[in-house]
Chains A and B, each alone.
Chain A
Amino acid sequence: MIRFDNVSKRYPGGKEALTRVSFDLAAKEMAFLTGHSGAGKSTLLKLIMLMERSSQGQVLVDGANLNRFSRRQIPAHRRKIGVVFQNHQLLFDRNVFDNVALPLMIAGYQHRDIGRRVRAALSKVGLSDKERQNPITLSGGEQQRVGIARAVVNRPPLLLADEPTGNLDPALSAEIMNLFLQFNQVGVTVLIATHDLELVRRLGKRQLNLSQGQLKGES
Chain B
Amino acid sequence: MAAIQGATHTRMSHRLGAWLGHHREVAMKSLGELLSAWISSLMTWLVIGVALALPTLLYLIVMTVGDVSGDWDGRPRVSVYLKDEITAVAGQQLRDRLAAREDVTAATYVGADEALAEFQQHSGFGDVLDSLDSNPLPALVEVIPVRSEAGAVRLLVAALTAEAGVDRVVVDLEWIARLDSIVTLGERLVIALSSFLALGVLLSIGNTIRLAIENRRAEIEVVKLVGGTDGFVRRPFLYLGLWYGLGGALIAWLLIQASLLFLAGPAGRLLRSYGEQFVVTGLDPGVSMALLASGAGLGVLGAALAVRRHLHLIEPQ
Whether A26 is near chain B, meaning CB under 8 Å from some CB there, is no
Which of B18, B222, B315, B316 interacts with A110 by CB under 8 Å? B18
Contacts of B21 in A (CB 8 A): 110-111
* Residues in B whose Cβ lies below 8 Å from that of A107: 227
Q: Which residue of A lies closest to B26 (CB)?
A: A105
Partner of B219, one of A75, A91, A150, A154: A91
> Is B72's CB within 8 Å of the partner chain A?
no
25 contacts between A and B (CB under 8 A): A49-B225, A51-B316, A72-B230, A75-B228, A75-B229, A76-B227, A78-B224, A79-B227, A80-B227, A83-B225, A83-B226, A102-B223, A102-B226, A103-B226, A103-B227, A106-B226, A106-B228, A106-B229, A107-B227, A108-B15, A108-B18, A108-B22, A111-B21, A150-B226, A154-B226
For residue B268, CB closer than 8 A to chain A, the reply is no
B122 at the interface (CB under 8 A from A): no
Which chain A residue has the least Cβ–Cβ distance from B312?
A71
Chain B CB within 8 A of A182 CB: no
- Also in contact, A106 and B223, with CB within 8 A (given A91-B218, A111-B21): yes
B positions within 8 Å CB-CB of A:
14-15, 17-19, 21-22, 218-219, 221-230, 232, 315-317
Q: How far is the CA of A4 from the CA of B22 in the complex (A)?
A: 38
Quick check: is A89 within 8 A (CB to CB) of the other chain?
yes
Q: A111-151 CB contact bits vs B (8 Å, 1 = yes)?
A: 10000000000000000000000000000000000000010
Asked if A69 is at the interface (CB within 8 A of a chain B CB), the reply is no
| Alpha-carbon gap, A111 to B24, bound state (A) | 13
With beta carbons under 8 angstroms apart, the residue of B14, B22, B218, B221 that contacts A105 is: B22
> A75–B227 contact, CB under 8 A?
yes
Collect the chain A residues with CB atoms within 8 Å of residue B218's CB: 89, 91
Chain A proximity of B50: nearest CB distance (Å): 32
Contact partners of A91 in chain B: CB under 8 A: 218-219, 222
Q: 10 nearest interchain CB pairs? A: A79-B227, A78-B227, A103-B226, A75-B229, A106-B228, A108-B18, A75-B227, A110-B18, A89-B222, A91-B219
**Distance (whole angstroms) from the CB of A67 to the closest CB of chain B:** 18
A51 touches B315 (CB 8 A): yes
Contact assessment for A79 and B226 in the assembled complex, using a CB-CB cutoff below 8 Å: yes
